[in-house]
Each structure stands twice: as C-alpha cells, then as structure tokens.
C-alpha cells in the first residue's frame, strides 16, 4: 500500500498587525521530504505515526514537506501558493497512491484564500483520485468547512486543550486511514454545527468530563471517532465556531443523531467552561498574597499561539510598578532587544528598551537599566514530545522581575522556557506566562496556584464586539439563541 504524507500548518489571526511569509515557516519549522525529525511537531504527528507502520512493512511511505509557522497574521498569497504547489507537486510525483494523510491546523488563511486547507484537500482529491483514502488531523481551534468534509474520508482533531494529545490524534488519523484503505471499515462522517464560539479548556470541568466520555465511546457501537472543533475566534471567516464530528462505521443515521446530541451538550456549556479571568492588578495582588510560590499567571490574550505579537508590556510594567519581587515573565518577543543583549554579553548592565513595539494596545516599551542574566543561541522550550524554537534569546533582570526575551515568536509551553535561560522557575514567587492554556500541562505540576489575567487589547477576545464581516449564520454569543429557527 502506497501512502503519501505531508503537513502545512499555521493559525491565522486576521485581526493581528502581523503578516506571515515564507521566512516565518523557515524559522518555526520546515522539513523537506525525508527530513522530518523523529520527534513530532504539533501538526505533523502523522509523520512518526506512519513511519512506524512503514517500519513494520505495512505500507510504502512517500514523505512530502512538513512545515509550520507560529500563529500570526494573514499568509501572503505568494507564500501560500509556494507551499501548496510544493506539496501537490510531491503528491503528483508519488502517484499512484492508495492513501493521502495530511497534518494540518485548520485555521490557515492567506490573502485571497479564506480556506487554505479546503483548497489543498480539494486539489489533493483531484490528483489522488476518487478511490484514494484521504485523511487529515486538525487542531481544534480551526474552521470546519463543507469543502474539507466533502474531500476527506477521515478527520481527527486533538481532543485536549492544552493540546497534550496531538500525537494520539496523529496516530488515530493514520490508523483509520489505513484500516479504510484495507477495506476493514467504511467511515461515515456526520457533522453538527454547534453555532457557538467560546473558550473551552479541557483542564477543568465541564469539558474535562465531556472529553473523558467521548473517549470512552470511541470503539463502541460502530463509533470510530468523535471530535470537537472549538473554532478560532480571532479570524473573520464564514465558518467560525464550534462543530462536532462523529465518524461511524457505515452508520450515518446513528452518527447524525449522536453528533446533534453531543453538540447540544457542548452548547449547554456556553459561558461557563472558561476559567475565571481576573483584571491584571487583581491577578498580581492575589499571587503576591499567596503564601507560597510559584503562582503561575497566564497572560491569556497576549498569547503568540493566538497570532498576536507577544510583546505586550502591560503585566511586566504593572509588576514593576507594584514593587513585586521574585517575578519571572516570558516569553516576550523582541528580536532587537535580544540582539543588543547578545552584543553586550552575560553579566553586562545596560540601558535597554524592550517590548511594546508592534501594537498600540499592548503597552509602551519599557526603558530601564537591566542586568543580562543569560544569552542563548537557538534557544528552545519543550511541548510534550515536541521541541519549540525560541530563536536567539536572553534573560534580563529589572528590579525584582526577570524577563525572557526571544527572537522567534512563541507562547509559553513549559517551565524550561525559564530554566533553559538560567532562571529557576521553582525559586520564583510569580511566573507570568504568555499563553492561554497550553502552559497548563507542564506548569500545573509545579504551581501552587494557577491564575488567568485578562489584559484587554492584544487579542480580539469577545465575539460580540470583534466586528466579523463574513459570518453566514448566527452563533452564540453574537446571537443569544442561534438554534431558535431550527426544525428539530
């Protein structure tokens, strides 16, 4: 059995002041055919999953390009065309194939193309032919379009937020595709539009129980897979919002009923699934008053994983103004400040301007006398089995606050973003992490308390006021009851 595999992925924030071109993919992750590392990346876990099958002699694997760019603004049209055509040309060269497996994100948008993944899948179907089995894995913060559903036989989505199960989702996609190609199963995909846009972390109830339950349902009563697409609120796109996908073994009617039932259960969670979001000063005050550290504070909306720059100074400046000690912040994106720190060297003291360079709503730059604690070339942090590049990085100290500055935009995933720069996270009273929830899996075990700070500005965080122009249907909370006109 001949199987082709490739991956193109990024998450596009159409409200961001950033733009994405080919260099963003090169800096984050770019592996030409055969060069994918043994360790998976967030959206390319299908590669190691299929390599295992190839080593067992089950398949002949033909690898295409795998690439990922840190979430940001619109991908320019030239870059999208280059990456799309690169993978499609590789698929043509691989023909004939029995199956195509793609590692995608699901929220990639380019100038002139709102549905990059749908366009890629449609072309892949045309090239591979109607009899080839096509499967893809997706991030839940994506947009599920009719074009994608029409061209896919198998779709799996990470169930967890934080996405600690991305390897499992890639393996499930590969397994279902191969079973389909061998004629062992006949996947029937059922989709229910929940018509909701909310924050749905699975690290807490009610989503924790929901995910545990749908996991238990898979493999029973002809249910092959159940996935929840959360949606990605920072994109002006027609298919915005949450959807449920149930794949059954040739039981379409049962899948339709179950998808609706589960979808309406998720709809009942609206407005109560997210954690308590605190005003910045209150979050810092609570952390300072807590009897022991480290208290982890998520700077939830200055999260590069949501496509914003990640250079907001608001939380850092507030910690300084409050005179707090034992604070570490990171990662804060500022390539220029990193360059100056590397030029000065570890141990140097200098007047440095850092942060606040790309957005009028993310705070002013901080000008201060700083001590350079550490400089590292090609720094990294971990995210489960994946290695996330930070680029050249530096750790600085100003007052009682240590700051990790990075040159490759990235959100905070793990405490090693601090320890790899010489900062002991366990010695700190407060750790301020630029992340919405992906930090949770690695930081929760060391945290005495986890708080979420809502800094208004950097991210379009309220669907009611985001000013979407392309929505084609009502969704909550833009509309209070978007299912009112449905005939049940």
* pLDDT single digits (tens) 415-440: 999 999 999 999 999 999 999 999 99
- Name the burial class of residue 290, with classes exposed (0-12), middle (13-18) and buried (19+) by CB atoms within 10 angstroms of its CB: middle
What phi and psi, each to the nearest 5 degrees, are found at residue 212? -60, -40
pLDDT in tens, 315-344: 999 999 999 999 999 999 999 999 999 999
pLDDT at 463: 97
pLDDT at 486: 62
pLDDT surpassing 90 at residue 457: no
pLDDT surpassing 60 at residue 169: yes
Average model confidence (pLDDT) across the chain = 97
What secondary structure, in 3-state letters, does the chain show?
Answer: CEEEEEEEECEECCCCCCCECHHHHHHHEEECCCCCCCCCCCCCCHHHHHHHHHHCCCCEEEEEEEEECCCECCECHHHHHHHHHHHHHHHHHHCCCCEEEEEECCECCECCECCHHHHHHHHHHHHHCCCCEEEEEECCCCCCCHHHHHHCCEEEECCCCCCCCHHHHHHHHHHHHHHHHCCCCCEEEEEEECCECCCCCCCCCCHHHHHHHHHHHCCCCCEEEEEEECCCCCCCCCCCCCEEEEEEECCHHHHHHHHHHHHHHHHCCCCCCCCCEECHHHHHHHHHHCCCCCEEEEECCCCHHHCCCCCCCHHHHHHHHCCCCCEEEEEEECHHHHHHHHHHCCCCEEEEEECCCCCCCCCCCEEEEEEEEEEEEEEEEEECCEEEEEEEEEEEEECCEEEEEECCCCCCCCCHHHHCCCCCHHHCCEEEECCCCCCHHHHHHHCCEEEEECCCCCCCCCCCCCCCCCCCCCCECCCCCCCCCCCC
What are 12's two structure tokens? 């596009």
pLDDT in tens, 64-78: 999 999 999 999 999
Mean pLDDT of 220-246: 98
Largest CA distance in the chain: 69
Q: How far is CA 216 from the centre of its chain?
A: 25
pLDDT in tens, 74-94: 999 999 999 999 999 999 999
By DSSP bridging, strand 133-138 and strand 99-104 are parallel
Angle ∠(119,125,126) on CA atoms, nearest 5: 90
Mean pLDDT of 109-116: 98
pLDDT at 488: 42
Model-level pTM? 0.94
By DSSP bridging, strand 187-193 and strand 243-249 are antiparallel
pLDDT band at 218, cuts 50/70/90? very high
pLDDT at 381: 97
CB contact set of 212 (below 8 Å; sequence gap of 6+): none
pLDDT surpassing 90 at residue 16: yes
Q: What is the dihedral of CA 41, 47, 51, 53, to 10 degrees?
A: 120
What are 434's two structure tokens? 């630029």
pLDDT band at 485, cuts 50/70/90? low
The number of residues in the chain equals 488
Mean pLDDT of 164-180: 97
What phi and psi, each to the nearest 5 degrees, are found at residue 121? -65, -40
- Round to whole Å and give the CA distance between 427 and 404: 15
pLDDT surpassing 60 at residue 177: yes
pLDDT at 456: 86
pLDDT band at 266, cuts 50/70/90? very high
What are 320's two structure tokens? 């300084």
Q: How far is CA 133 from the centre of its chain?
A: 26
Tokens 């500022």 belong to: 334
- Round to whole Å and give the CA distance between 447 and 297: 10
Residue 405: count other Cβ atoms within 10 Å of its Cβ. Answer: 31
């Amino acid at each position: 059995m001949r199987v082709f595999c490739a991956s193109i992925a990024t998450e596009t924030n159409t409200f961001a002041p950033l733009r994405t071109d080919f260099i963003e993919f090169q800096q984050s992750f770019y592996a030409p055919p055969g060069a994918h590392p043994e360790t998976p990346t967030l959206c390319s876990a299908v590669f190691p999953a299929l390599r295992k099958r190839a080593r067992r002699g089950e398949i002949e694997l033909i690898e295409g390009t795998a690439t990922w760019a840190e979430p940001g603004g619109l991908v320019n049209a030239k870059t999208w065309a280059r990456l799309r055509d690169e993978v499609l040309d590789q698929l043509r060269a691989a023909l004939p194939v029995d199956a195509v497996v793609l590692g995608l994100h699901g929220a990639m948008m380019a100038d002139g193309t709102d549905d990059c993944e749908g366009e890629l899948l449609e072309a892949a179907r045309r090239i591979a032919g109607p009899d080839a089995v096509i499967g893809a894995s997706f991030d839940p913060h994506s947009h599920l379009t009719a074009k994608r559903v029409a061209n896919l036989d198998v779709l799996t989505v990470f169930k967890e937020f934080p996405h600690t199960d991305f390897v499992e989702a890639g393996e499930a996609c590969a397994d279902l595709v191969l079973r389909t190609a061998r004629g062992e199963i006949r996947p029937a995909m059922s989709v229910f539009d929940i018509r909701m846009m909310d924050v749905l972390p699975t690290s807490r109830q009610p989503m924790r129980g929901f995910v545990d339950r749908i996991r238990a349902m898979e493999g029973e009563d002809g249910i092959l897979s159940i996935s929840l697409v959360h949606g990605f609120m920072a994109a002006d796109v027609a298919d915005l919002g949450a959807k449920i996908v149930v794949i059954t073994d040739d039981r379409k009617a049962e899948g339709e009923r179950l998808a609706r039932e589960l979808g309406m259960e998720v709809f009942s969670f609206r407005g109560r699934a997210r954690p308590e979001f605190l005003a910045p000063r209150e979050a810092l005050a609570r952390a300072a008053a807590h009897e022991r550290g480290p208290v982890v504070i998520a700077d939830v909306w200055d999260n590069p994983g949501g496509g914003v720059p990640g250079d907001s100074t608001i939380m850092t400046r507030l910690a300084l103004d409050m005179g707090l000690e034992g604070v570490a912040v990171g990662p804060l994106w500022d390539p220029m400040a990193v360059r100056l720190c590397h030029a000065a060297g570890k141990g140097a003291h200098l007047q440095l301007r850092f942060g606040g360079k790309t957005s009028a709503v993310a705070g002013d730059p901080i000008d201060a006398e700083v001590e350079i604690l550490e400089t590292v070339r090609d720094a990294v942090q971990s995210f489960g089995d994946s290695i996330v590049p930070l680029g050249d990085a530096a750790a600085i100290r100003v007052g009682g606050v240590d700051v990790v500055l990075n040159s490759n935009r990235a959100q905070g995933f793990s405490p090693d973003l601090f320890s790899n720069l010489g900062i002991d996270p366990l010695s700190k009273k407060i750790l301020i992490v630029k992340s919405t929830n992906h930090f949770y899996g690695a930081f929760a075990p060391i945290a005495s308390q986890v708080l979420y700070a809502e800094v208004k500005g950097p991210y379009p965080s309220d669907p009611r006021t985001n000013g979407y122009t392309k929505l084609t249907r009502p969704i909550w909370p833009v509309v209070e009851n978007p299912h009112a006109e449905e005939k049940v």
